Each structure stands twice: as structure tokens, then as C-alpha cells.
Amino acid sequence: MTTLKSSHVIKAKPFLRWAGGKTWLLKHLTNVKKYDFNNYHEAFLGGAATFFYLEPKGHAFLSDLNKNLIETYNVVKTDVEDVIKRLKLFTNDEQSYYRIRESTYESPVERAAQFIYLNQTSYNGLYRVNLKGKYNVPYGFRKKMYIVDDNLRRVSLSLQNANIFSGDFSSVLCNLKERDLVFLDPPYTVSHNNNGFIEYNEKIFSLNDQIRLSEMIGAIKEKNAFYILTNAAHKTVDSIFERGDQKFELTRGNGIGGHKAQRGQTTEYIFTNIKL
Ligand SMILES: C[S@@+](CC[C@H](N)C(=O)[O-])C[C@H]1O[C@@H](n2cnc3c(N)ncnc32)[C@H](O)[C@@H]1O
């Protein structure tokens, strides 16, 4: 009799390079996977490292302020084969890059392919736009061709159980129920440890936004739901988010960005009302 070994299921992983991506944090979240929560909410989605890692069993509500990012997720969810076909037509060289960067595409599939292509072949993967909202990161001369492979299909599968929408983080509360888990990874407001990644969008995340976020965490707790917040390790952040919950201080190397001087070690806080 042949013994069947348990087949190794390959997990979907982030398909975008995203500043502030949380891959480094995942090893600290192993216990969260065992936690018995209902639906999952992630309001600063970016590259969605935590969503892919946790593989939430319930429904997922995924959102971000960046409309182009959200359109890309939705198109990958519904039309992944078309996106792959389109991506295969794009080549990784300087001339093609600037042609594709300057193009305005009519169809959501083309725009999603453009978004993924630029993200993978640009200089540093940062999402940066000019005053007209046009992506303006220069070509990256990255030898490795952006990856068009089965991961995008796995991503598409893992998104089937998700509502993906653009908007301010405050919309989390519209769908929140008891015992849901909310993962919150806002942009930095303070520049700590020389970390230069403050701007993720046309609009800077302000101190007032951090205060709004803290108030939302109060509302999450009132609903008997769970939250995990990551944020810059800074005394201002501490004073805004201190609610008598657990607080961890974690240090990591910072791997994205154009200037070597801006790289290095940064320390972040995790605040949570679940046992990690
Ligand atoms: C630190 S990144 C999230 C990174 C993500 N956790 C990952 O693993 O890649 C912060 C994200 O917040 C989004 N953002 C900025 N202001 C926002 C707001 N007011 N509401 C919702 N999302 C916002 C940005 O577009 C950016 O994608």
C-alpha cells in the first residue's frame, strides 16, 4: 500500500512590492493563526502580507485609500487570466517602462497589468505620484523580470472570499461584528530612526489621523472585537494608543527604499487586545 504524504499546499504570497510591507512581522503572529476569530478586516492593505499569511477562514474585508491599488486587487480577483495574458505582453526594458508608465489604459485589466508591471520594474517599488496623480517613479534596471506565475492565480483564489474596497480606514466599523479581527498597519506619521517612509499617498497620514485611528480602536473594543495595530515606536504614538492592552517593541532591518542612508534598523510597536 502506498502511503500518501500530506500534500504541500503552496500559499499565496504578496505580489506587490510595498513600502512598510509586513513580511518581517509575520513570525511574531503565529499564535494569531490559532486564534478563534470570525471575520477579518485589514484597513491599510498595501501588499497584504498579513492577510496572505493568516489565511483567514471567515470573510475578509480588505481596504486601502489607494484606489489604483484596490482596483488591481479586484481585477486580480475576478480576471486573473486576462491580467496574466496582458502582463506577458510587457517587456522589462527602459523604453517599454516609460511607454507603459505614460500610457492611459481604458480597461481595468490593462490598468491592473500596468500597476503590477510598474510596481515590479520601477526603481524602488514605492507608490509615488506627482501632483496630477500620475505615477512618477523612474525605471529600476532590475535584472530579474517581474514574476508572472502561478502565485497570481493563488492570490486570485485567496481573494474570492474577500470584499475589497477603497476608502478611509474608518469604514472598518461599517462591517465589524463581535469577535472579528482587525489588522491595522497605518503609514508612519513620525519619522523615527531616520526612517524616511512617511508618504505613501498623495495625502500624508497626519497626527490627527492617528488620533482618529485610536478612537476607532476604542470602538472596535466596545464591539468586543480584536485588533492588532503596528506603528512607529515613538513616544507620541505611545501616548495616543496606550489603552492598557499588550504592547510589544520589535526591531527589524528595513529593506525598501532608494537611499542607503534611510535604510537600517527601525523599531515598531505592536498594540493588541489578543494574546500573542
Ligand atoms: C504601511 S502601508 C501598509 C503595508 C501593508 N501592511 C503590507 O504588508 O504591505 C500603509 C497603507 O495605508 C494606506 N493609507 C494611507 N492613508 C490611509 C487612510 N486614511 N485610510 C486607509 N488607508 C490609508 C496607504 O495607501 C498604504 O497602502
DSSP category for residue 257: -
Partners of 129 in the β-ladder = 135
50 Cα nearest atom in ligand 1: 8
Instruction: Please choose, from the candidates 23, 26, 52, the residue with its C-alpha nearest in 3D space to the C-alpha of residue 40.
Output: 52
Q: Rounded to the nearest 5°, which phi and psi values hold at 248?
A: -120, 150
CA angle 65, 66, 69 (to 5 degrees): 135
DSSP category for residue 200: S
Q: What is the pLDDT of residue 145?
A: 64
Task: Specify the pTM.
Answer: 0.90
Residue type, 51: F
Specify the residue with its C-alpha closest to ligand 1, atom 23: 65
Residue-averaged pLDDT of the chain: 87
pLDDT of 63 higher than 60:
yes
Q: What is the pLDDT of residue 254?
A: 52
Q: What cell numbers appear for 134 in the block?
A: 500620475
Pocket around ligand 1 at a 6 A CB cut-off? 18, 20-22, 43-44, 46-50, 64-66, 168-169, 185, 187, 200-201, 205, 209
User: What is the band of 4 on the pLDDT scale with cuts at 50, 70, 90?
Assistant: very low
**Domain residue extents for the chain:** 23-272
- Distance (angstroms) between ligand 1 centre and the Cα of 233 equals 17
User: What is the band of 188 on the pLDDT scale with cuts at 50, 70, 90?
Assistant: confident
Q: What is the pLDDT of residue 275?
A: 84
CATH number of 23-272: 3.40.50.150
Q: What confidence tens digit (pLDDT) does each residue in 10-52 have?
A: 899 999 999 888 888 888 899 998 888 999 999 999 999 999 9
Q: Which of 70-74, 146-150, 162-166, 253-257 has the lowest mean pLDDT?
A: 253-257
